[in-house]
């Protein structure tokens, strides 16, 4: 399904809440660059064009829609990837550390100048889901970017051990083994796949969540080579609903300890 995404800036009261055209143009450019990075991350290479759907001159608002170009029939939504990335950064989820570094940089550019060149802003998706362009986005984007850079330099060791977590993903495949029934869960943020033991989950529940976006809670086992768990022993799997609100998975992948200084 093709998606649309809208960026809006609100001007300063001292300028009658109007937004300087150059300020909006710079933010829109970074917004479009971020969408390009999201497309490449979702599809392995650039597959989509992002076309202007709407411009509103009375407010600093631009809406874009994605259009698939030539190539294989199957494709993933770049806008959807961008939305999930923005939410993961806004919530400071560990999954944000797996995002492309350039995408994080482009999202960090959006709140720069907040309070001096514009008052606030928002990124709004379909169904009025939105992410605020505010101090929290800037603070968490800086933190995520710093963590990615440290990880790239090998200066942060991933957590090793067991922890209780909840994550957001889609049940994609069934597995059978001597140790019990299992599934593969594809994470909503980043698309990584994790094996999940569902021996404790009722069969009727599994039928309900099959190929649906859901919240998986349980005991996760972490290795020493990734910020993501290797396996999860699920104690509950709950659908979040078709086209679920971004807020339905706030906290997804958050685990304890949450401070990266303790991940060793």
- Give the 3-state DSSP-derived string for 15-34, with helices as H, strands as E and coil as C: HCCCCCHHHHHHHHHHHHHH
CA pair distance 28, 148, nearest whole angstrom: 25
Q: What is the pTM of this model?
A: 0.63
% pLDDT > 70, the chain: 81
User: 161 near 222, Cβ under 8 Å?
Assistant: yes
The structural domains of the chain, with segments of one domain joined by +, span 4-152, 161-262
Q: What is the pLDDT of residues 134-192, one digit of tens each?
A: 999 999 999 999 988 887 765 555 567 777 777 788 888 776 555 556 888 888 766 78
CA pair distance 12, 5, nearest whole angstrom: 23
Q: What is the pLDDT of residues 23-61, one digit of tens each?
A: 999 999 999 999 999 999 888 888 899 999 999 877 899
Higher pLDDT, 229 or 72: 229
161-262 is classed CATH 2.40.50.200: yes
- Find the mean pLDDT for residues 231-256: 59
Which SS3 state, helix, strand or coil, does residue 248 take? helix
Mean pLDDT of the chain: 82
pLDDT of residue 211: 85
């Amino acid at each position: 399904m093709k998606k649309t995404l809208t960026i809006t800036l609100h001007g300063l009261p001292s300028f009658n809440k109007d937004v300087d055209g150059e300020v909006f143009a710079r933010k829109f450019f970074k917004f479009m660059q971020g969408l390009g990075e999201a497309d490449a991350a979702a599809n392995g290479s650039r597959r989509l064009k992002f076309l202007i759907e709407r411009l509103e001159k009375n407010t600093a608002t631009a809406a874009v829609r994605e259009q698939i170009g030539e190539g294989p029939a199957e494709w993933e939504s770049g806008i959807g990837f961008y939305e999930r990335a923005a939410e993961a950064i806004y919530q400071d989820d560990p999954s944000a550390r797996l995002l492309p570094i350039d995408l994080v940089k482009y999202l960090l550019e959006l709140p720069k100048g907040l309070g001096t060149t514009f008052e606030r802003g928002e990124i709004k998706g379909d169904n009025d889901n939105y992410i605020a362009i505010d101090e929290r986005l800037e603070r968490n984007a800086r933190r995520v970017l710093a963590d990615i850079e440290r990880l790239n330099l090998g200066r942060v060791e991933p957590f090793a051990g067991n922890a209780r977590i909840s994550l957001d993903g889609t049940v994609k495949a069934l597995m059978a083994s001597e140790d019990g029934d299992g599934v593969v869960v594809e994470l909503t943020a980043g698309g990584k796949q994790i094996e999940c033991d569902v021996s404790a989950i009722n069969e009727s529940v599994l039928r309900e969540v099959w190929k649906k976006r859901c919240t998986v809670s349980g005991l996760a086992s972490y290795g020493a080579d990734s910020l993501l768990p290797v396996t999860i022993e699920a104690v509950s799997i709950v659908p979040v609903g078709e086209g679920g609100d971004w807020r339905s998975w706030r906290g997804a992948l958050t685990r304890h300890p949450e401070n990266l200084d303790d991940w060793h």
